[in-house]
Amino acid sequence: MDAHWMEFLSMLLRWLHVIAGIAWIGSSFYFIWLDNSLDAPAPGSEAAKKGVGGELWAVHGGGFYNPQKYTVAPATLPEKLHWFMWESYTTWLSGTVLLVVVYWIRAGTMMVDPGVAELTAAQAVAIGAGSMVGSWLIYDGLCRSPLGRHNGLLGAVVFALLTALAWGLTQWIGGRAAYIHVGAAIGTIMSANVFFVIIPMQRKMVAAMKAGETPKAEWGLRGKQRSVHNNYFTLPVLFIMISNHYATTYSHPHNWAVLAVIAAAGVLIRHFFNKRHKGVFAWQYPLAGAVLLGVVAWWTAPKAIALPPVQGEVTFERVRTIMGERCVTCHTEAPTFPGIAQPPAGVVLQSPAMIAQNAQRIYQQVVATRIMPLGNVTEMTDEERAVIAAWVASGAKTQ
């Protein structure tokens, strides 16, 4: 496919993915808030007699609402019943297609990093796909095992296994691709929870009512457990969705641990809101999350970089030659690198003014994080990085 059309398809898929993700996560946040905010009806009240376990009153958009949740199910099945599933399926499908378009089709550039492991593009894709399927199978098995009856311990084990997954992926593929595939694995777990557990449990409840039977409470509890898990996964996944913009995280020597700390902060912050919905102001959780994020900020800050000494005078012409040989195939108004239709991040390095204008950005990506050139496909040397560092340190002059 022509590079322009591939880029345009990527844009549309990303837009759809974000829209569907907002709808899915928004409904998840709302229903967790709703579940945690319900008050039991007064004993003997009309609501209690109907089997309502909790209710609340709310005002929004100029109207009053009175949501009610039944302890098990109402006496009769309503004619019109709203289901929440397509938000999940659309998010996962669009995200997976986007993963294929952006990473798997261009795996040789976007996933393979010779500095990490010598792989073929097919091997890298197989590792990525296997991590998604394997994560769901292991997670689902744990939930169905005796461990699944102990939510706190189950959560700790799942977190540890996802951290191990992050470590494993960073040993085989590039850091940016590893982060995205951890996110894809979690997203697969979340959507599979909806497809294989939450919706089937709800269908069982509806089928039982249609047959004139009382639904089993355990069906609702199983669906609720997976729904709560999805709620705690959301903030780590949202970070991973934007992580490709922040090379200091995924290019760090211990990038897997950086991701684990950020994910832990997200879980703690989400837990604060879940408790807050119940009327408990547990300030220690967001404080702990803020401390963890502060640790990440300190840990990923630029450190002294060991580069070879520069031989000869550092001139702008030397820098411009390096840019022309190593960077301009992508960072030009009309990229010539296969699969690249537009300059990444809109950065064009064709003229002296453009190079000087982006000097700090070049230093960050090429010297500080060494994430560019991506996978070092143009084979930039440490000596060339040293020249760029010396040029930036001397004021990034073009004369």
User: 294 falls in which pLDDT band (50, 70, 90)?
Assistant: very high
Query: Cβ distance 159 to 256 under 8 Å?
Result: no
Domain definitions of the chain by residue range: 3-37+72-299, 316-393
The residue among 213 and 302 whose pLDDT is bigger is: 213
Dihedral over alpha carbons 338, 342, 344, 345 (to 10 degrees): -170
- pLDDT greater than 70 at residue 3: no
> Degrees (nearest 5) of the Cα angle 211, 213, 217?
130
- pLDDT greater than 80 at residue 338: no
pLDDT one-digit tens code per residue, 32-83: 999 999 999 999 898 898 899 999 999 999 999 999 999 888 888 888 888 9
**Rounded Cα–Cα distance for residues 94 and 16 (Å):** 7
Which are the contacts of 208, defined by CB distance < 8 A and separation ≥ 6? 73, 214, 215, 216
The residue among 140 and 398 whose pLDDT is bigger is: 140
**Rounded Cα–Cα distance for residues 322 and 332 (Å):** 14
Q: Which of 46-60, 85-99, 304-318, 329-343 has the lowest mean pLDDT?
A: 329-343
Using DSSP's 3-state secondary structure scheme, residue 64 falls into: strand
Give me the pLDDT at residue 23, please. Answer: 95
Average pLDDT in the chain: 91
**Rounded Cα–Cα distance for residues 328 and 288 (Å):** 44
pLDDT one-digit tens code per residue, 227-262: 999 999 999 999 999 998 888 899 899 999 999 999
**Rounded Cα–Cα distance for residues 212 and 77 (Å):** 10
The residue among 298 and 350 whose pLDDT is bigger is: 298
Looking at the DSSP bridge assignments, the partners of residue 58 are 65
Give me the pLDDT at residue 336, please. Answer: 81
**Rounded Cα–Cα distance for residues 193 and 215 (Å):** 20
Q: Which of 45-54, 149-158, 182-191 has the lowest mean pLDDT?
A: 45-54
**Cis peptide before 373, with omega less than 30 degrees from 0?**
yes
- pLDDT greater than 80 at residue 141: yes
Element (H, E) at 263: helix 255-277
pLDDT one-digit tens code per residue, 73-129: 888 888 888 899 999 999 999 999 999 998 999 898 889 988 899 999 999 999 999
- pLDDT greater than 60 at residue 1: no
63: its two tokens: 């109207």
User: 2 falls in which pLDDT band (50, 70, 90)?
Assistant: low
Smallest Cα–Cα separation from 55: which of 72, 73, 37? Answer: 37
Across the range 382-397, mean pLDDT stands at 90
Query: Cβ distance 31 to 18 under 8 Å?
Result: no
- pLDDT greater than 70 at residue 339: no
Give residue 183's Cα distance to chain centre.
4
Give me the pLDDT at residue 156, please. Answer: 97
The residue among 344 and 87 whose pLDDT is bigger is: 87
Query: Cβ distance 121 to 202 under 8 Å?
Result: no
Give me the pLDDT at residue 396, please. Answer: 87
Give me the pLDDT at residue 77, please. Answer: 84
Give me the pLDDT at residue 131, please. Answer: 98
Give me the pLDDT at residue 268, please. Answer: 97
- pLDDT greater than 80 at residue 361: yes
The residue among 21 and 332 whose pLDDT is bigger is: 21
Looking at the DSSP bridge assignments, the partners of residue 70 are 52
